[in-house]
Amino acid sequence: MRMLALVLTLLLGLPVLGNEPARLDLGGSALVATGRGWGGPPPLELRLSLTAPVPFGAFLVGDPARLVVDLEGADLGAARPEDLFGANLVPAIRWGRHEGRWSRIVVELPGPYRIDSAGQWPGAQSSDLRVRLRPVAAADFAPRSSAALRGLPDPVPLDPPAPDGPLTVMLDPGHGGFDPGALAEGESEANLVLVFALELQAALRDRGVDARMTRQDDSFVALDQRMTAARQARADLFISLHADALPEGQAAGATIYVWNPAADRRAAEQLALHHGRRDLVAGADLTGQDDALAGVLMDMARTDTQPRSELFARWLTSRMALSGLDMHPRPVQPGTYVVLKSPDIPSVLLELGFISDHDDRANLLNPAWRERMVRAVADAAAGWARDEAARTGRLRQ
Ligand SMILES: [Zn+2]
């Protein structure tokens, strides 16, 4: 409920939320199948059209499988659930007042599902709330879970803040352990990026940067643990290092991926207009049970983080170009890698080159090339940190 309380305070500040309750517009609402079921129940999307945005939560419960959506300050009026377009797709829908100002919608599901995403898109005249459900095997059904947050960081005890301390960079050599990554000519990606990361760590430490690693050796680290490590260290910057096999038809050379925010950018910016951004995630319980709320918070935080990730990507390309390092013709690209999803830590994924490409592989194995690349990345981190300090008025040593 901590998260719920947090968002409540946020949304109460919205001018659009007066004393008037948000009303459900049944005509603009629907339950729709968004794909085929392939012999089982289909993916579903619950679309609720409200006259104003409201704090809400969405979660699943079992026995039988049900989707529960709680809405604060929403008036469901005299609308009857059986009149909702698409109500016939599921065994039953019920709704009514829950407690206090809360209303509850319960959708009995035709099988086990998970919440793929949940979000709210406030517009001028109405606010659309959408919950996307994907059917899963019975064994994968996780009622009252954080399915919508899969791959996102756990709440962890944070190191104490050090506002004037050194720049903290979390280096993330990809793969490791039973996951060697891409393989070519007897070399493994996991090993090549670890060698590079250790050299980069040493170079950064020489410059007074607090450089840490998500793995120090050939061990397996889950993706969410990599993000959690960055969060725990209060990292200023997260750099994931890879050297994957060259995708069909793609040019070789270093490539930088930053998170692709296209889908949720508009909604997030709209909400962020009304709030400070960095303080939103401070202390937020990201694995609370109010998955949908957490999702909205993430998007809002990312509107602040995204340009800082992109700025670091530009620093990287400019330093690599100055050093004459081989780059992909379009060196900065949008990506949807899980490790780029930290809401409040600028993050990039750097493909140092492609292990399957002869020249790139030779570069990765060449200590002189690595030294040039290490210097380019370390210079970029330093330049980026200066820009950040100028932006925030925060001085570093
Ligand atoms: Zn990789």
Query: How far is the centre of ligand 1, averaged over its atoms, from the C-alpha of 208 (Å)?
Result: 28
Query: How far is the centre of ligand 1, averaged over its atoms, from the C-alpha of 179 (Å)?
Result: 10
Distance in angstroms (rounded) separating the CA atoms of residues 351 and 331:
10
Query: How far is the centre of ligand 1, averaged over its atoms, from the C-alpha of 219 (Å)?
Result: 14
Query: How far is the centre of ligand 1, averaged over its atoms, from the C-alpha of 66 (Å)?
Result: 38
Residues whose CB is less than 8 angstroms from the CB of residue 231 and which lie 6 or more positions away in sequence, other chains included:
153, 156, 158, 342, 345
Distance in angstroms (rounded) separating the CA atoms of residues 200 and 240:
12
Residues whose CB is less than 8 angstroms from the CB of residue 341 and which lie 6 or more positions away in sequence, other chains included:
151, 152, 227, 259, 298, 347
Query: How far is the centre of ligand 1, averaged over its atoms, from the C-alpha of 210 (Å)?
Result: 24
Query: How far is the centre of ligand 1, averaged over its atoms, from the C-alpha of 197 (Å)?
Result: 13
Query: How far is the centre of ligand 1, averaged over its atoms, from the C-alpha of 396 (Å)?
Result: 33
Query: How far is the centre of ligand 1, averaged over its atoms, from the C-alpha of 97 (Å)?
Result: 50
Distance in angstroms (rounded) separating the CA atoms of residues 70 and 8:
13
Structural domains for the chain: 2-144 (2.60.40.3500), 168-392 (3.40.630.40)
Judging by DSSP bridges, how do beta strands 74-75 and 44-50 pair with one another? unpaired
How do the pLDDT tens digits run along the chain, 397 residues long? 334 333 433 333 333 334 567 888 888 888 988 888 777 889 999 999 888 888 788 888 887 888 888 888 888 877 788 888 888 889 888 888 766 677 888 899 999 999 888 887 777 777 888 899 999 988 888 876 433 333 333 333 444 445 567 899 999 999 999 999 999 999 999 999 999 999 999 999 999 999 999 999 999 998 888 988 998 888 999 999 999 998 777 788 999 999 886 644 444 444 444 333 333 343 333 333 344 444 555 555 566 788 899 999 999 999 999 889 989 989 998 887 878 877 778 999 999 999 999 999 999 999 999 999 999 999 999 999 988 888 776 544 4
Query: How far is the centre of ligand 1, averaged over its atoms, from the C-alpha of 354 (Å)?
Result: 9
Query: How far is the centre of ligand 1, averaged over its atoms, from the C-alpha of 357 (Å)?
Result: 14
The backbone torsions φ and ψ at residue 75, rounded to the nearest 5 degrees and listed phi first, read: -105, 110
SS3 state at 139: helix
Query: How far is the centre of ligand 1, averaged over its atoms, from the C-alpha of 240 (Å)?
Result: 9
Query: How far is the centre of ligand 1, averaged over its atoms, from the C-alpha of 331 (Å)?
Result: 17
Query: How far is the centre of ligand 1, averaged over its atoms, from the C-alpha of 183 (Å)?
Result: 10
